[in-house]
Structure 1
Amino acid sequence: MTAELAHRAGDKVLQLPLTAGVVVLTCNLPGIDGVRLSRESLAGIFLGSIARWNDPLILAANPGVEIPDLPIVVVTRVDASGTTSVMTRHADRMDRGWPK
């Protein structure tokens, strides 16, 4: 609310600043529904130390799932947004080697 609107509303309005949102990472592996990624494997993907879908860390989190030997292609946003900030802070907590 602007200062003018708040003044006009007086005690009749209670303003509660709230934000809710979710950051979702997706993958596209034809024929596979729902790949599980550990925090360690997710950090490895974004740091570049995990480059293929059949990496042992990913296979360990997906027992019984036939994951192909395909390269992982990471697609990211490059603009400064709230989503970028949330993902970067989360990545820093996943792996302290995350670049600042």
Structure 2
Amino acid sequence: MTDLAALVDGPLDAPPLLLIHGTAASSESWSLLLPYLTPAHRVIRVDLPGRGRSPADGSLDVAGQASAIGATAGPPRRLLRGGGRPLLRSPPSWRPR
């Protein structure tokens, strides 16, 4: 597994928030949310292999990608789920009103 490129925004002493893009996207897909997230979080945006600034490695090994994300961003404190269509997959209580 190759090293993953990551962008870090926000105060270094703030709680970390890891953002992982969906298929056929890159870390830039989170750019519009940065003004809302960075005042209270250190936002870490990774580029998965072959996307954005990360080189392609030809592997679809999910466990290897998870390991590379952990090596790049550190261990998670909380896990939030997203995806290409998070509002369609989220429980109704999580959807904006």
Q: TM-score, normalised by structure 1?
A: 0.29
Structure 1 or 2: larger strand share? Answer: 2
Structure 1 or 2: larger helix share? Answer: 1
Q: Relative contact order (C-alpha < 8 Å, sep 6+): which is higher?
A: 2
Q: TM-score, normalised by structure 2?
A: 0.30
